[in-house]
Amino acid sequence: MEPELSVVIPTRNRAEQVVRTVGAFLAQTGVDFEVIVVDDGSEDGTSKRLGALRDPRLEVVCQPRGGLAAARNAGLARARGRYVLFNDDDMVPEPGFLQAHLGLHRRYPHAAAVSRTYVPEGFAQEAFACFWRAKTEAGVRGRVDGAVLGWGGFWFASRSLSRVLAETFAPFAGYGWEEHELGWRLWRKGVRPRLALGARAAHEDRPSLEVALAKQRSMGRMAWEFYRLHPHPLVALWTGVHPTSRLYKRLAYPWAKAEQLLQDRRWEEGPGAFRGYRFLLEAAYTRGLLEGS
């Protein structure tokens, strides 16, 4: 008998984290489901650690390193459930998580269910971590259960949709925009991302400014790949590749100023810390955007 829901988790060299996440899924009740972990060329014994769980609902797929999109696509190809949940390996679900996803799909059959993810307090002690926590949760703060998050609301850290509606991810050369590119295709098919308020998951990834800046710079470069796939005016404005957007960003977020902020970081101790972090992230994105043009 086919399961009601397939959980697809891509992972690479994060054995301890993915085992914790999978364990939290296997502890879910009230739902017939399967968990498919795609080990994307790990070298830290990930598959062996997962195999020790010995649960018939768990399938581990090993593949040579192919990237996040390839791993997600491999999991989708193996999925048998009526619904597919793409979940990052550091998104640890709370009890009732899968029931909340299925509950939303019963009310909105043609929607994508977006998890209510949050950064645990223990992961947000330093200034940048506090900023990142506030930033990542801002998009859903105050929203009611089932709220439509808008055509920019597609991020696949933890998201489910009908397997009939699911499409494969386009592989990008670097980090950034893969989820949004798929979201753009789904939105144009009429699929709307809706918040599953009861589907809470802890994002157990300790944020750092250096990693965030590198990702933002990569996203700036990948914006061009997104636009080449979909040369639409809204995509140009959304990603910033539009000439007017690029001119504005070049003037408003010069990398020279960002370097000054990174050299003397005493501002992090003051009330303007969040403003400084926002500028740095925008400057890093702009830098990548201009490099990719």
Show pLDDT as tens, one digit a residue, over the chain (293 residues).
Answer: 799 999 999 999 999 999 999 999 999 999 999 999 999 999 999 999 999 998 999 999 999 999 999 999 999 999 999 999 999 999 999 999 999 999 999 999 999 999 999 888 877 668 998 898 888 888 788 899 999 998 777 776 899 999 999 999 999 999 999 999 999 999 999 999 999 999 999 999 888 999 999 999 999 999 999 999 999 999 999 999 999 999 999 999 999 999 999 999 999 999 999 999 999 999 999 999 999 98
What is the per-residue pLDDT for 133? 87
What is the per-residue pLDDT for 199? 97
What is the per-residue pLDDT for 101? 98
What is the per-residue pLDDT for 261? 97
What is the per-residue pLDDT for 123? 74
0.85 cut: is pTM over it? yes
How far apart (Å, rounded) are the C-alpha atoms in residues 32 and 61? 20
What is the per-residue pLDDT for 245? 97
Where along the chain do its domains lie?
5-203, 209-292
Reduced 3-state DSSP string for 33-90: EEEEEEEECCCCCHHHHHHCCCCCCEEEEEECCCCHHHHHHHHHHHCCCCEEEEECCC
What is the per-residue pLDDT for 104? 97
Phi/psi of residue 210, each to 5°? -60, -45
- The answer as to CATH 3.30.450.90 being correct for domain 5-203 is no
